Structure 1
Amino acid sequence: MKRETAMRALVCSAIDGASVAPGDLPRPQPGPGEVLVKVAAAGVNFADTLIVRGQYQEKPELPFAPGLELSGVVEATGDGVTEPASGRRIMALTGLGAFAEYAVAKQSDAFPLPEEMDFDTAAGFAVTYGTAHGALRWHADLQPGETLMVHGAAGGVGLAAVECGKAMGARVIASAGSPEKLKVASDHGADATIDYRQEDVKTRMRELTEGRGVDVVFDPVGGQVFDASLRATAWGGRLVVIGFAAGEVQQIPANILLVKNISVHGMYWGSNRKMAPQRLAEQFAELFDWYKAGRIKPYISHAYALDEGAQALADLRARKTAGKVVIRP
């Protein structure tokens, strides 16, 4: 990939979590099959906080700009690219580099935006709604009338799961760590809530289902929350593991899976970019239809300038935000 003049970016200069600050990086140029995007906004994800600490699956070469996803306008296209054309409004997956004035994305990772969708919404849309939709549609096979338990329900991916669950016809129970966060989940469609700091999660899940247990669990938290959910899942239930925000990777007792005919699915949505890219276009088509119909309403709680990018990562990691957080270069 050719490089030319400098651009402003949020630069990670060491893998220690603290060496993230505004700076300059070479402005990228699109290679074959790529597009150059003038970034309007970039979504902040929990994975970004892991990447700058060396705790993610990928270890980028230093220095680099974090940022998995963005929205903006196509500035230029590489060889072989006819769509999206220059001037097209898009959202795109980058893996790295979104926290900058310009970024490059593969043609297959760039998706034209509906006219109704603004840049802030689009910047935080792909990863959270893609993950939530994929977990519930592909892995959990969530059906109308089933009960869905969403943990971390006020976070970006959790809130997306609440909305996708409602769009798919489920009854949704949401858990979070404060009344304020539970109100956010309720405002976005949750039928019942659990304050995990004040209530016993397993007991409340059983009470809210009259002892039957929930059909599907969406879990980006892990640890003790997963353990409680496993014991409050109905016969034939499905649990989807999204991540381990609690910092503890649980060990799953296979005897419980056997006795209750429960299945546990891992969901690393980003791997579909390589292994099953056709899935993404199909799911975004459905998600964009839901958005245009008002069935999902993404919530952007905080927008930071590029110079405030390190604070954005810190606030997200400390769970001081709700919904989605974006950075505007």
Structure 2
Amino acid sequence: MDDVKAIVLHECGGPDVLSHEEVPTPQPGPGEALIRVRSVGVNRTLDITIRAGEYPRPVAFPHVLGADPAGVVEAVGADVAGLDRGQRVAVFGGLSCGRCRYCVEGHDEDCVNRRYLGVHQWGGYAQYVVAPATVVFPIPDDLPFADASFIFRHFPTAFGQLEASADVQPGETVLVMGASGGLGLCAIQVAKLVGARVIAAAGGDERLEVAASFGADFTVNYRREDLAARVMEMTEGKGVEVVCENVGDPHLWQGAFNSLA
């Protein structure tokens, strides 16, 4: 196969350091799949911080970003079952080793050797990407590729926050900070699926309208309202059992903490 197009990073800096180039077509090794990329997200925590030089660990240059590609299987390596050429798939960017104690026990999210697509190996900012077949999953024919990239980036995180870590129970109340962002919207849906009530908090009324359309029971604008006071009012002075903090703004932390039961 001829060379393929990719957005390549040779140094950290502003958006202008992203270079549109041709690179050799990646080849799948044993246990891997080659994906023809149809969509990939722009992830603030990974893609933008790496490009800007703000990621806590350096990456090896040249580098291709992109943690959450979706597309079509082009080829598979040896020892791959369940994936066929032409199959529509999405890739989960968290790569666990499968060998450490946590992986063996089924807790691969705690893998001590955890790596990420687009961080520790070339990612999906290219026409083709190679990924372990264990993180490549078929998607329905009627699911748009862009939606699949979104779902595979944020829903596992939201599920881990609310189900695995917080063990949210039916009837409890969850405060979702940054509720109109990708992770926040997924957190709302996971909490509602469990049977919890959701207070969506965001910094703008239009954002809160989006959160409400995804199922939030109550909304609060933390840029113009007293967050903890409004939460206590909504919960009749009880507070919430869980805060899902997706903003990372230290100025909002105290209000979020004070909202807890």
Range into which the TM-score falls when normalised by the shorter chain: 0.7 to 0.9
- The reply on whether 1:8 has 2:35 as its aligned counterpart is no
Alpha-carbon distance in 1 for matches of 2:260, 2:211: 21
Question: Per-residue CA shift, 1:107-155, capped at 9, x if unaligned?
Answer: 1111111344221211211120110011111001011111010011111
- Conservation of the 8 A alpha-carbon contact between 1:44 and 1:124: no
Q: Cα RMSD over matched residues?
A: 1.6
Alpha-carbon distance in 2 for matches of 1:49, 1:175: 24
Aligned residue in 2 for 1:80: 79
Indicate the SS of the match to 2:83.
Answer: coil
For residues 1-329 of structure 1, the aligned pairs below 5 Å read 5-18=2-15, 19-47=17-45, 48-94=47-93, 95-96=117-118, 97-222=123-248, 223-234=250-261
Alpha-carbon distance in 2 for matches of 1:32, 1:213: 52
Alpha-carbon distance in 2 for matches of 1:180, 1:190: 14
Structure 1 stretches of at least 4 aligned residues deviating more than 3 Å after TM superposition: none
TM superposition score normalised by structure 1: 0.67
TM superposition score normalised by structure 2: 0.84
Alpha-carbon distance in 2 for matches of 1:75, 1:166: 37
Change (3 A) 1:59 1:5: farther
Report the AA paired with residue 92 of structure 1. V
Question: Per-residue CA shift, 1:90-119, capped at 9, x if unaligned?
Answer: 101341111111111101111111344221
Change (3 A) 1:30 1:126: same
* Between structures 1 and 2, the one with greater strand share: 1
Where do 5+ consecutive residues of structure 1 fail to align? 235-329
Indicate the SS of the match to 1:27.
Answer: coil
Higher relative contact order (CA closer than 8 Å, sequence separation 6+) = 1
Report the AA paired with residue 35 of structure 1. A
Identity of matched residues, %:
40
Alpha-carbon distance in 1 for matches of 2:155, 2:57: 22
How big is the shift at 1:5?
A: 3.6
Aligned residue in 1 for 2:96: none
Alpha-carbon distance in 2 for matches of 1:116, 1:136: 28
Change (3 A) 1:93 1:183: same
Indicate the SS of the match to 1:36.
Answer: strand
- Conservation of the 8 A alpha-carbon contact between 1:72 and 1:89: yes
Report the AA paired with residue 218 of structure 2. A
Change (3 A) 1:89 1:201: same
Alpha-carbon distance in 1 for matches of 2:129, 2:222: 39
